[in-house]
Each structure stands twice: as C-alpha cells, then as structure tokens.
Chain A
C-alpha cells in the first residue's frame, strides 16, 4: 500500500514542480521591460482608486461554514456506504441503512431550517416577514415606509 502512496506522491510532486519549472525556463526566454504603466493594477484603463482589499458580505463566510458541515457529513458517510452492499448481502442491511440515513436526516433537517429561514439565499429577502425575523410593528412600519398600505 505504501508503494501506491509513493506513486501518488510522485504525481503530486511532479505536478507541483511543473509550473515552477516552466516559469523559470520562461524567465530566461521572455523580455522584461518594466514601466510604471505596466506595473499599475488593471482597472479598465482608469487609475485605480483606493486599496484593492474591499470588505465582503458575510454570505461568503456562511457558504463556507455550510460547506464545511456538509463536507464532514459526506466524508463520514463514505466508509458506511462502502459497507452497505456487503451488509445487505449478509443480512444487516436494515441496520446500516437506518444508521446512515438517520445521520443524514439530522443534517438535512438543518438544511431545511436554513432554507425556510432564508439563510441560504444569496440576497436576503427583507420583505418576507418570516425570513426577516421582524415583529408585527416593525413589519407594518417597513411596509408603510416602502409605500404599500
């Protein structure tokens, strides 16, 4: 088994060294005439204003957290589902099925909760009262503000 890992490692190392080797060879072949205009950040021809590091909306972070939880779930389900076929043939299929899908349904319930509460919308819907978590008075005030009646 270690021999196979060695092969896989050889592939990864070669693939990681390849771009460095290509770029190093290219460095000796290509011209290099640095000039102030070329060294500026590209912004469609305008002079860039402000720093390039903007503040992002926190929905990127939420997507990453959601992904992490479901990734752990998928990774933990791999060994269990691998056994499923053998366990069906040896008579314990129901037990494995219930355990695996019990695990899955708990997290699926979490996904459904997020969906209903609007947490996985990319653009949060503020006018939907249930999703915006507003009280009665706040909702009426917001409706009046937006010009509905």
Chain B
C-alpha cells in the first residue's frame, strides 16, 4: 500500500481530513515547544540580567555571548541532577502534579492572537476558556504540595491555593469590564474592536481598550495586579517565600521537577502578559496604522508576499508589547517587598473586588451613555474630526 493510499484510508476512517489533524498538532507543537517553553527559559536568563541591572552588578555573562546560553546550561544541569523523592511521599500525585500546572499554563496559549489569522484556536468563548484553564494551576500546586509529605510544602501549598483562588475574582471582574465594552468573548473579536478609529465607521475600532474609558484604565491595573498574584510573583510570592517557608510548596522538588514548576511560573507570566496585551493593549494594533491595508509592494516573482509581511509586522508589535509587560513584571519583583498573608487577603477581598465592581459599573454606564464609543472617539466627535 502506498503512502497516498494509506493516508486516504485514514481520511475515511476518521471522517476528517488528515491535514486538519496535522495542523492542530503542528500548531500546538510550534506554539508550545518553539515559543512558550524557550521563551519561558529565556525569561529566567532575562530576569537574572534585569535583577543584576537593578542591583548594579553584571549578572550571568560566562556562558555564551553576554551569558545568553545560561538557560541551556541551567536546563542541562537540572536534567542531570538526581531526583529525590522522600520515602513517605505520594508517588503518583507527586509525578502527576506538574502536568496539571503545565496543562493549565501552556494549554491556554492556544488562545493568544499573534496576528490577524495566527491563533491556535479561535474559540467563540476565547477569554472565558483561558480563565477556565487558569484554574487548573491552583489544583496542581495544591496537589503537588500535599504529596510532598513536608509541613512547609503543605503550608505553602495551602497559602498558594488560597491566594490563587482569591485573586481569580478580580481577574474575572477586569475581564468582565472588557467584555462589556467589546461585546464579544472571542479573542480575535476583542482585538479587532481595538483598531484605530476611522471616520464615519459605526463598528470600526475604538482603539486600545485601556484608553476606552477611565474605568477600564483602573481595571487594567486591577487585572495586572491580580495576574501578578495568580503567578505567585512578588509582591505576592508568599507561597514560595524564599526566606520564610524554606522554598514553600516546591521544597521537596529537585532537579527537573523544580525546573518544570519554574517554567510553569514563567509561562504563566508570559500567558497573562499575552492576554493583557490582547484584551487591553490592542493586540497588534498601532495608532494610525491599519495593518490589513498596508501595501508594501513586496513581490517575489509571481507570489505576493504582502500577507506574510503583514503577519510578521503584527506579530512583532504584539510581542513587543508582551515584552514590555514582562519587563514591568520583573521590575516590580526587584523593587517591592513581599506582602504579609493577611495583607494579601485584605487587598483582594476588601480593596480589589469592590474597586473592580465599581469600575465595572462605571464601564457599563459609559457604554450606555456614549453608545460604546471610547474617549478618543468622543473627543474626535466633539472636535469635529468624525
């Protein structure tokens, strides 16, 4: 049987074209293995360099030019280290907990819109599904901490679960306010409503959601702070408090297991930065430029390379915004001290939730009064530009 016969036989077995299945798997492999994981690894190196900058020292500079291959060296070291599992630890859950954490963080990369047609899965419930996967992370941390048979791990894990779970509410409220303004849950839909406003276009863009109305600006801050707490980053890194709980919930994890948790944390940071860019900072939109109609006049022989270059430009703009947000996350880590656990819970339940709800109310009132127009569109109308 030749390869073509075999493939067409498979087509009839599954009733779905094999190329579609291959596309699913391939897009998953490319985004996760070639984007999320290497970027997560490079972030460990960037973090050390940024930390060094803030502390006026040099940081890693031995392995490779300016220390760029440090994360390869760290990865190889972690794979080659011995993996000790304590005698009383629960082996099955100990092995299975990192899968939950990574399934939650890396699985949601399917929804990140890198360009107009470049998205892993354009679901109609896009942003809601991303929130759903984020809730698997708390489960993974709690189970991993419990199975370690260590008091410090269990305490760190319970605190981590309580913290992650509490801060999902302000995160949800901030996303709700974006939905109020955008009218759709799909990620590509939200990004496409953030184009630069065009005169006399009813459903054109209203530019970036963060500049839509002042209430959304404050809710962007709420989203950012809640995302910091979700990823266990300082000032919310009590669960892995290096000076208090030994190492919190990852005390008993050594070698590559610890590497997987660290990778999961950075992947979470990058994921929240990507989602924040997509829903608040306009995804791949820049002021005054409409990438769809940008004709660069690039032709190679007969093929028109313009869509390819448009996509590359869109993806670059998106990734630049993500890089800025990740840098701000690292900046905050090396600037602010850690919150105490009761301050952390107070901040969530007594400050961020009421403020989030009040701003949601404000957004709804704004949409009602101005029929969904942003500050920029209203100003343009007043000035007579539209």
Contact = CB atoms under 8 A, between A and B. Distances in A.
Direct contact of A and B (CB under 8 A): yes
A77 interface: yes
B102 A43 contact: no
A15 B342 CA distance: 34
B364 A101 contact: yes
Given A84-B364, A85-B183, A43 B151 contact: yes
Given A71-B168, A81-B180, A97-B368, A18 B173 contact: no
Contacts of A11: 28, 31-32, 106-110, 120-121
Interface residues of B, number: 92
Interface in B151-176: 151-155, 158, 161-162, 165-166, 168-169, 172-173, 176
Nearest to A33: B82
Give the interface SS of chain A, mostly helix, strand, loop or mixed: helix
Given A30-B79, A33-B82, A10 B28 contact: yes
A63 B162 contact: yes
A7 B108 CA distance: 11
A115 B346 CA distance: 10
A115 to B, nearest CB: 6
A98 B215 CA distance: 19
A122 B341 contact: yes
B138 to A, nearest CB: 10
A108 to B, nearest CB: 6
A8 B176 contact: no
A81 B152 CA distance: 42
Contacts of A86: 183
A14 B99 contact: no
A86 B88 CA distance: 58
A82 B367 CA distance: 12
Q: Nearest 6 CB-CB pairs, A to B?
A: A122-B342, A85-B183, A15-B106, A12-B107, A7-B121, A74-B172
Given A31-B80, A104-B357, 14 more contacts: A1-B124, A10-B27, A15-B106, A19-B260, A23-B260, A32-B83, A33-B82, A78-B128, A81-B176, A82-B179, A84-B180, A88-B368, A93-B367, A123-B342
Interface of B: 20-21, 23-25, 27-29, 31-33, 37, 79-88, 95, 98-100, 102-103, 105-111, 120-124, 128-129, 133, 148-155, 158, 161-162, 165-166, 168-169, 172-173, 176, 179-185, 246, 251-252, 255-257, 260, 341-342, 345-346, 349-350, 353-354, 357, 360-361, 364-365, 367-368, 371-372
12 contacts: A16-B107, A18-B106, A19-B99, A39-B87, A44-B246, A52-B153, A63-B166, A70-B353, A74-B172, A82-B183, A84-B180, A97-B364
